[in-house]
Amino acid sequence: MDTKPPLPEDALALGQQLCFAVYSVAHAFNRTYKPLLDRFGLTYPQYLVLLALWQTDGITVKTLGTQLGLDSGTLSPLLKRLEAAGFVDRTRDRSDERQVLVSLTQKGQDLKSEAFGILMEIGKATGCSREEAGALRDALHDLTQHLDRPA
Amino acid sequence: MDTKPPLPEDALALGQQLCFAVYSVAHAFNRTYKPLLDRFGLTYPQYLVLLALWQTDGITVKTLGTQLGLDSGTLSPLLKRLEAAGFVDRTRDRSDERQVLVSLTQKGQDLKSEAFGILMEIGKATGCSREEAGALRDALHDLTQHLDRPA
DNA sequence: CAAAATTAAATTGTGCGCAAGTTAATTTTG
DNA sequence: CAAAATTAACTTGCGCACAATTTAATTTTG
């Protein structure tokens, strides 16, 4: 067997790259979500924050960042906008004044019921069954873990 | 059979979302590419432009945009930076002065040989075989096509 | 052929996403 | 317990990504 598998000329073609397929589908998801989220004045990353808060309300910026894979440089201004739009409140943690707790307002909580509709729309748009989507999702999780493994 | 499949409480959980799996792996790829591309002073989208040009040199901004799924609002400043860094030239098309032709400089052409090394590094980092990567890539292409299908 | 419509790039404005640096609170340690 | 180290959040700066607008060139049409 070959120790150095051949790299054909078009190994560098865009269409061959897994990374470009990922890049493209990420943008496609964004485009698909946009009209659905525009109705609520939300961006896609803001929607991800709400998804996290609907699972566990009242968490710190740090915890939110760990769950989403974002740092405070991204989250701080994003949360400010979510607060200005009336979806969340931000309060200093009394027991540790370094931390800021993010919690849903009534408006933020109410939006959760709308999210199920969005979920269905997106599910339809993907064109794959719940099982296919789940399998693909798991494969992507594995890939993410591999890529984030320290070299 | 159910016409309305049940939506369990945690159907909204971040970990359940295919879109979030895509979002996460896209960022993971970016993080993985960064140190490899930093050596050449390139960003990931700039690298994608070079991949396209290595396949077909001397194409218009429009063609590049179609291949990458980007508009001139993104490409114009990006190409300006690639030009300032000496990787590409931009020249007005003599036969249609609306168009701008993007072509590789010698420096841009020379970089292609380095790209094979990057390809290998990324391949290793994904932790999947060429076959697995190919299958995943094709599944993602299908998904992109579905999402971009007019509703 | 001249007016209208279309097309390609570029520009402007907003919002991520990340690196690097700042500030303030807490924890560690010597 | 005071100095040093760590931590959380914020801020600044840069580069996408995209919508909307502008400008100039080309094509369509009346």
What is the DSSP secondary-structure string of A87-116?
SEEEEE-TT-TT-EEEEE-HHHHHTHHHHH
Nucleotide nearest residue A76, measured CA to C1': D10
The neighbour count for residue A69, using CB atoms within 10 Å, is 16
In B, which residues are within 8 Å of A12 by CB distance?
51, 54-55, 112, 115-116, 119
User: Three-state SS for A104?
Assistant: strand
User: CA A125 – C1' C9 distance (Å)?
Assistant: 32
The reply to whether A17 falls in a domain is no
Mean pLDDT throughout B91-104? 97
- Give every strand in the sheet of B88-92, ordered side by side: B59-60, B100-104, B88-92
Which domain, by its residues, includes A87?
Answer: 43-111
Give the angle A125-B14-B128 at the CA atoms, nearest 5°.
80
Q: What is the pLDDT of residues A131-150, one digit of tens each?
A: 999 999 999 999 999 999 87
Domain count, chain B: 1
User: Three-state SS for B129?
Assistant: coil
The reply to whether B17 falls in a domain is no
Q: What is the pLDDT of residues B6-56, one digit of tens each?
A: 556 789 999 999 999 999 999 999 999 999 999 999 999 999 999 999 999
Q: For strand C, give the nucleotides within 7 A of a protein CB.
A: 7-13, 15-21, 24-27
Calpha distance A77→B46 (Å, rounded): 27
In A, which residues are within 8 Å of B115 by CB distance?
12
Statement: the CB of A70 is under 7 Å from strand C:
yes
Mean pLDDT throughout A40-59? 98
Mean pLDDT throughout A119-126? 96
Q: Is the pLDDT of residue A7 over 80?
A: no
Q: Is the pLDDT of residue A124 over 80?
A: yes
Chain B, nearest residue to A134 by Cα: B18
Query: What's the confidence (pLDDT) of residue B5?
Result: 56
Q: What is the pLDDT of residues A76-114, one digit of tens each?
A: 999 999 999 999 999 999 999 999 999 999 999 999 999
Calpha distance B129→A36 (Å, rounded): 37
Query: What's the confidence (pLDDT) of residue B56?
Result: 97
Cβ atoms of residues A147 and B27 within 8 Å: no
The reply to whether B21 falls in a domain is no
CATH number, domain with residue A102: 1.10.10.10
The reply to whether B87 falls in a domain is yes
Q: Is the pLDDT of residue A5 over 70?
A: no
Mean pLDDT throughout A124-131? 95
Query: What's the confidence (pLDDT) of residue B150?
Result: 75
The reply to whether B81 falls in a domain is yes
The reply to whether A101 falls in a domain is yes
The reply to whether A104 falls in a domain is yes
Among all protein residues, pick the one whose CA is nearest to the C1' atom of D12: A73
* For the segment 5-64 of chain B, residues whose CB is within 7 A of strand C: 23, 27, 30-31, 34, 60-62
Query: What's the confidence (pLDDT) of residue A15?
Result: 96
The reply to whether B9 falls in a domain is no
> Rounded mean pLDDT of chain A?
94
